[in-house]
Amino acid sequence: MQTDSSFTFVLFGGTGDLSMRKILPALFEAHRAGGMLADSGKIVAVARHIADRAAYIDWVNEHVKPHVSKNGVDETAWASFLDRIEFVKIDLGKPEDFTLLRDALSGRPGIRVFYLATGPSLFVPICHALASVGLNENSRIVLEKPLGYDLKSSNAINDAVGEIFAEEQIYRIDHYLGKEPVQNLLALRFGNVLFEPLWRREWVESIQITIAEELGVEARGDFYDNTGALRDMVQNHLLQLLSIVAMEPPHSMDSDSVRDEKLRVLRALKPIDPRDIGKVAVRGQYHAGVIRGSAVPAYATEPGVKQDSTTETFVAVKVEIENWRWAGVPFFLRTGKRLADRVAEIVVNFRAVPHSALGVSALRGGANRLVIRLQPNETIRLYCLAKQPGEGMNLASVHLDLAFDRFFREGQMEAYQRLLLDVINGRLALFVRRDEQEAAWRWVEPILNEWAASNKPPKPYAAGTWGPAAASAMLAQHGTCWLEEEN
């Protein structure tokens, strides 16, 4: 991924958690790898509480360095990385301060990238202030999630930002789209002739998509308590994964071809009737429990969380897609904090053979199953039935494994690194277009409304388990179960 295009990467929220853990480490990795960032490219950090560049560099050394390269930092590369960093002290509440930024950026070559690693309430004021000093020209703007709280607030932000930046200048990040295995899903589906003919209702019985976390809400209790798992994970990451699993083959990999196909899926999601929400969606909240041998506290006692909180930390939901390819196939989406394992995977359960001359086991749905594990380790496992050795014809489940680290010596590129390089190089395919985002909000909205109006609290589950039993019962109604419940 060689580049010679110069850039200035302006980082708002330069001392925030995201800058510290993700953005600056990702830029460092791109710098260290060599050839990915133009030599003349600069990073201009913007913050209010830091006096000057020297103080910012001290902050970067203290807070960012521990988050780069687990195997030790290459000191020469680190020193040259710091040379790329400049600093402008701005109070984001004072639009007049933006003239300082304009002066600092004046006469620089190449594209300007404004990365808003700030709370969403600052997105619109920052865009207005940038426009007031003419900085919306020749530039791209990166918006972090959460982009709004519901359809209305998301539209309000998109309308206001859209008055200042054209849609092709706006990069809405969903970091799941930057993950290598998610890219690989596209390669698997559209680079091989093997799967696509079977990838449809005639041969697929059900699909599960799980993003399970062992972590709790960490230091984000306050934010999370006002957000919940449906907004934090389902509206964006899970629906994006779903759209990649279910989309039609795009005409090409250019940004709009891919995003058009994803949008078609999102628009085809069967709207949820508010009266059915109890049947098709389960919300849970973790209580105290044990994770890997350590006791962990209940959600309601986490710092920043209201004691009587009804915020969900777990969601399982049944989704249907109203089109010819997927009519009648249930997609089960699930995510939660403080679950039994950290895993993100997609499970495609194929139908049973139409007639078995080989006994009942061949008639079991799910005998053929494809499990695409996205993290922690990227693998693809294809389950088949085979004859057990010995007398008679008894079938047993066996699997073919594809572990990518055995094939590719190079490590995976971290999601943020790929996405930041894409912004700098003007590649929009892995960013969420406004219409996709709207379609996703529109679909989750009845659930949000119903839960907000309901006086029933989320179902409790013990930390370290797989969530409320109701999530299993929902699948049982379709004659299936979550992958970890097999056998």
Q: Point out the residues that are catalytic.
A: 237
Q: How far is the CB of 240 from ligand BG6 (least distance, A)?
A: 11
Helical segments of 71-146, H only: 75-83, 98-105, 123-132
Cβ proximity to ligand BG6: between 240 and 368 the closer is 240
Task: Tell me how far apart the alpha carbons of residues 265 and 336 are, in angstroms, rounded to a whole number.
Answer: 24
Contact 27/43 with Cβ under 8 angstroms? yes
Tokens read off for 191: 């680079």
Task: Tell me how far apart the alpha carbons of residues 299 and 220 are, in angstroms, rounded to a whole number.
Answer: 12
Enumerate binding residues for ligand BG6 (CB under 6 A). 213, 232
Cβ proximity to ligand BG6: between 344 and 395 the closer is 344
H-helix or E-strand containing 53? helix 53-59
Tokens read off for 117: 């690693």
Concatenating the DSSP letter of every residue in 131-145 gives HHTTTTTTEEEEEPS
Cβ proximity to ligand BG6: between 269 and 415 the closer is 415
DSSP-based three-state secondary structure for 348: strand
Q: How far is the CB of 88 from ligand BG6 (least distance, A)?
A: 28
Cβ proximity to ligand BG6: between 85 and 419 the closer is 419
Q: How far is the CB of 378 from ligand BG6 (least distance, A)?
A: 13
Concatenating the DSSP letter of every residue in 299-336 gives GGGSTTS-TT----SEEEEEE-B-STTTTT--EEEEEE
Residue at shortest CB range from ligand BG6:
232
Q: How far is the CB of 232 from ligand BG6 (least distance, A)?
A: 5
CB neighbours (10 Å) of residue 285? 26
Cβ proximity to ligand BG6: between 213 and 225 the closer is 213
Residue entry with tokens 């480490």: 25
Cβ proximity to ligand BG6: between 29 and 232 the closer is 232
Bridge partners of 397, per DSSP, are: 385
Contact 41/9 with Cβ under 8 angstroms? yes
Q: How far is the CB of 343 from ligand BG6 (least distance, A)?
A: 10
Q: How far is the CB of 336 from ligand BG6 (least distance, A)?
A: 11
Task: Tell me how far apart the alpha carbons of residues 471 and 332 are, in angstroms, rounded to a whole number.
Answer: 10
